[in-house]
Amino acid sequence: MVQSPFTIAVSGKGGTGKTTISSLIIRSLIDLGETPVLAVDADPNANLHEALGITVHETLGSMREEAFTRHIPPGMNRHDYVRFRFRQALVEAKGFDLVAMGRPEGSGCYCFANDLLSECIIQLERDYRYIVIDTEAGMEHISRGTIGMPDMLLIVSDPGARGLRTIARIREIATQLGLEKEKIFVVFNRFKSGTAPVGIGNDLPIAVIPEDHQVEAADLAATPVSQIPADSPARITVLNLAQKIRKYAHEKSEALQ
């Protein structure tokens, strides 16, 4: 039986570390042998591929719907053509594949790119264990339903009072859209020792990722952040987070059996 993948959406305010953390989660899932992973870059300013050290040539957003209705090559049905075009956008790497949504053309709506994505995930022979979605800042994807309902929503925030307000807003939108509270988790990032994270009510953050000079060094050197040394604090913390994610994923698959 093909099991549906466990989907993790990484959200949060601009510049809080969504891409860094998404790439480190993917790296950690691979290290844990939880493969294959599908990485989805849902930010129009796609840069998840850089964090993972791969190159993207085409995005789903750049594919025009007309091409799929009018220009299907002779001898191909729509089903085959969709798969063919999706394959062109899919970058295959060790342990994971990546697809970038890019910037939508035409109507400015992601509907078509999103339809393609959902259709292709079903069609792909590869049985992804996890889908990790790096979303754009703001709640666009979640409020437009672009990424569907994830199994887990991570809200990345700096551990300050302003961060708390964003957490509350994202939480509110997500629950209004029908995502269960138990699926929403807070990740504090760039925690500097000595500053206690502000309280977030009764919920404890699922991870507190330290400020890590290796992450900064990778950024300055433009090297893939997912390749920082395995003993660097951020990577160790995210590995721990990935172990928790794995536990939730296993619980979900057991519940479905």
Ligand X SMILES: Nc1ncnc2c1ncn2[C@@H]1O[C@H](COP(=O)(O)OP(=O)(O)OP(=O)(O)O)[C@@H](O)[C@H]1O
Residues that bind ligand X (CB under 6 A): 12, 14-20, 43, 137, 189-190, 209, 211-212, 215-216, 219, 234
Binding flag, residue 226, Mg ion (CB under 5 A): no
Q: Which is nearer to ligand X, 42 or 82 (CB)?
A: 42
Would you give the distance in Å from CA 178 to the centre of its chain? 19
Q: Which is nearer to ligand X, 25 or 120 (CB)?
A: 25
- Binding partner selected for residue 17 from ligand X, Mg ion, none, CB under the kind-specific 5 to 8 Å limit: ligand X
Q: Residue 101, Cβ neighbours under 10 Å: how many?
A: 28
Q: Which is nearer to Mg ion, 42 or 60 (CB)?
A: 42
Residue listed under structure tokens 């964003």: 166
Find the helix or strand (DSSP H, E) in which 114 lies.
helix 111-123
Kindly state the smallest distance separating residue 217's Cβ from ligand X, in Å. Answer: 9
Please choose, from the candidates 130, 67, 57, the residue with its C-alpha nearest in 3D space to the C-alpha of residue 90. Answer: 57
CA distance 168 to 163: 9
Binding flag, residue 20, Mg ion (CB under 5 A): no
Binding flag, residue 19, Mg ion (CB under 5 A): yes
Kindly state the smallest distance separating residue 59's Cβ from ligand X, in Å. Answer: 16
Kindly state the smallest distance separating residue 1's Cβ from Mg ion, in Å. Answer: 35
Kindly state the smallest distance separating residue 161's Cβ from Mg ion, in Å. Answer: 23
CA distances from 243 to 81, 127, 135, 214, 247 (A): 38, 20, 22, 22, 6
Residue listed under structure tokens 């994807």: 141
